[in-house]
Amino acid sequence: MKVARTVAELRDSLLPARAGSIGLVPTMGAFHDGHRSLFAAARAECDTVVVSLFVNPAQFEEDADLDAYPHDFEADARAAEAAGVDVLFAPAATELYPEDFQTWVDVVELGRLLEGESRPGHFRGVATVCLKLFNLVRPSIAYFGQKDAQQVAVLQRMIRDLNLELTLRVLPTVRDPDGLALSSRNARLSTAERHVALALPRALATRDAEQARAALAGLDVDYVEVLDLDPPVLAGAIRVGSTRLIDNVVLEEEPA
């Protein structure tokens, strides 16, 4: 596996791969089985697998959240290599956002709902960094998790609106046996907080917004809403201590 720290190194390492198909998995690191399912799907489908590991400052509006984001580059590099990743692109923030950076992509309507309302500017940061990654890597397929359903919808909209030539592949949410969706942020939860956090997947499993809101009464709920995506999802976000958790269930599926 090659590790590319700069745009120039990434471009060099991809030169021999251009004749075949390239799969891209954008991530912020702290790999878990959710990430691994994306790596495996890319490995099965593409000649060359590129994983980006970049904690994108533009999508964090709270410095404390950005600062507390888990980092373990060595462990992530080992996990990526074990998953058969060919190129790990792990640039410094200044490599993607030089001082005079001033061009942003804003999916104006979808990017303002739910997560966008709770985290102003979040999807502008996501769309901009993903467009940069798509331009740099030029993947035929990019892999994302259903866990971030609104992110998928925002990126689909950007791909259509800007006539980008790539396919976005969406993989199901990977959960712990107790139902909690895997997330890099789960590591911050104490045992007691984790117990509280389990209320979110349980509430969403009702697949009914009213019932889910009732089930979460007394907790610090940002939103529980049906998002009219394709397919529609019941999405929710709660805060447990200093950790913000999101989750969603697809509404067309039968309850487990």
Taking residues 199 to 238 in sequence order and writing x for each that binds ligand AMP by CB under 6 A, - otherwise, the string is ----------------------------------------
Check residue 148 for interaction with ligand AMP (CB under 6 A): yes
Closer by beta carbon to ligand AMP, 174 or else 216: 174
Residues in the chain: 256
Taking residues 14 to 43 in sequence order and writing x for each that binds ligand AMP by CB under 6 A, - otherwise, the string is -------------xx-----xx-xx-----
What residues act catalytically? 35
Q: Are 168 and 130 in contact (CB under 8 A)?
A: no
Of residues 42, 80, 174, 203, which one binds ligand AMP by CB under 6 A?
174
Residues 97-136 that bind ligand AMP (CB under 6 A): none
Q: 227 has which bridge partners? A: 233
Kindly report the backbone phi and psi dihedral angles of residue 80, in degrees, each rounded to the nearest multiple of 5, phi listed first.
-65, -45
Closer by beta carbon to ligand AMP, 97 or else 143: 143
What is the C-alpha to C-alpha distance for residues 132 and 127, in angstroms, rounded to an integer?
9
Q: What dihedral do alpha carbons 155, 158, 160, 163 form, nearest 10°?
A: -120
Return the closest-CA partner of residue 144 out of 237, 28, 246. 28
Q: Are 110 and 228 in contact (CB under 8 A)?
A: no
Kindly report the backbone phi and psi dihedral angles of residue 248, in degrees, each rounded to the nearest multiple of 5, phi listed first.
-160, 160
Closer by beta carbon to ligand AMP, 13 or else 186: 186
Residue number of the CB closest to ligand AMP reads: 145
What is the C-alpha to C-alpha distance for residues 41 and 37, in angstroms, rounded to an integer?
6
What is the C-alpha to C-alpha distance for residues 74 and 77, in angstroms, rounded to an integer?
5
Check residue 184 for interaction with ligand AMP (CB under 6 A): yes
Closer by beta carbon to ligand AMP, 13 or else 37: 37
Check residue 173 for interaction with ligand AMP (CB under 6 A): yes
What is the C-alpha to C-alpha distance for residues 178 and 1, in angstroms, rounded to an integer?
34
Check residue 145 for interaction with ligand AMP (CB under 6 A): yes
Please report how close the Cβ of residue 210 comes to ligand AMP at its closest, in angstroms: 26
Please report how close the Cβ of residue 236 comes to ligand AMP at its closest, in angstroms: 15
Report the largest interatomic distance among the alpha carbons of the chain, rounded to a whole angstrom. Answer: 56
Please report how close the Cβ of residue 143 comes to ligand AMP at its closest, in angstroms: 7
Closer by beta carbon to ligand AMP, 28 or else 215: 28
Please report where in the chains the tokens 């590319």 appear, as a residue: 4
Q: 15 has which bridge partners? A: none
Q: Count how many Cα atoms sit within 13 Å of the Cα of residue 212 in the half-sphere of its side chain.
A: 26
Closer by beta carbon to ligand AMP, 43 or else 211: 43
Chain positions contacting ligand AMP, by CB under 6 A: 27-28, 34-35, 37-38, 144-145, 147-148, 171, 173-174, 181-184
